[in-house]
Amino acid sequence: MSPQAPATLGYHYLAVDGPIGVGKTTLVEMLTRHFEGVKILEDVDNPFLSDFYADRPGAAFQTELYFLLSRFKQQRDIGQRGLFDRLLVSDYTFQKSRIFAYLNLSDDELMLFDKLYALLEPQVPVPDLVLYLVADADTCMERIRKRARNLEKLISQHYLAELIDAYNHYYHYYVRSPLLVVDTRHLNFPQRPEDFDELLHRLAKPMKGTEYFQPLGSH
C-alpha cells in the first residue's frame, strides 16, 4: 500500500469515463486499491442489452432507459451515503447515458429520453475530476476481444468508431468539472507500474479546465 494518504489527492469523487474497451474498470480498481477508496461500478446486467446488440426493434430505447434509471439510483445513493470521507471512484459519469442515447435512439425516442434526463440530471452529484480515457477503435476492439465477454462479441468496429466520435464530441465541450484526458493507446496500467505511478503524480497536481496526460514513455 502506498504511504500516500487519500486526503492528499485533493478530490473526494473521481469519475473515469470513455468508450467500451478503453480500460475504465481496470483503472478504477487500481485507483481504489491505491487510495483505499470506494469503487462505484455501474450495473452492467441490463436485461435488454442482448436484444439491443441483436438489433431488435425497440430494444435501444428500453436499454437506454434501464441504464439511465439504474445510474440515477446509484448516483443518488452516492450523495446520500455520507462516504465522502473516503475517495469515491466511479467507472462512468451520469452523462454517459446521454452520449449513448444520442447515438442509439430515434428522434421521437430521444425527445422522451431528454425530458426524463432533464428531470434527473440536476439531482446527481458532480465529480471533482473526470478522467476521460481515449483510444482508437482498433485498440478498443483488441481489448474487447482479449476480455472475451459474451455480449461484447456482437459489437462491430463501425459502432465502436461512432461511439468514440460521440464521446470525443461530448468531452470537447465538457465544462462541469476539471477534465484530464488520458490517451491509453500506449499505456498499460496493470502490466507497467511506471505508467500508473506517472498518472498518480499527475493526479497529485492541481487541475483546471481540460488538461492532457502525456506520459513520458509513450512517444
Give the CA distances from residue 163 to residues 28, 200, 205, 207, in Å, rounded to whole numbers and listed in that order: 21, 28, 30, 27
Is 128 noted as a catalytic residue in this protein?
no
Give the span between the Cα atoms of 166 and 101, in whole angstroms.
10
Give the CA distances from residue 173 to residues 38, 49, 83, 192, 200, in Å, rounded to whole numbers and listed in that order: 29, 29, 30, 32, 25
Catalytic residue of the set 45, 85, 91, 138: 91
17 and 131 Cβ atoms separated by less than 8 Å: yes
* Three-state SS at 126: coil
DSSP 153: G
**How many CB atoms neighbour CB 134 within 10 A?**
19
* Three-state SS at 12: coil
Residues tagged active-site: 91
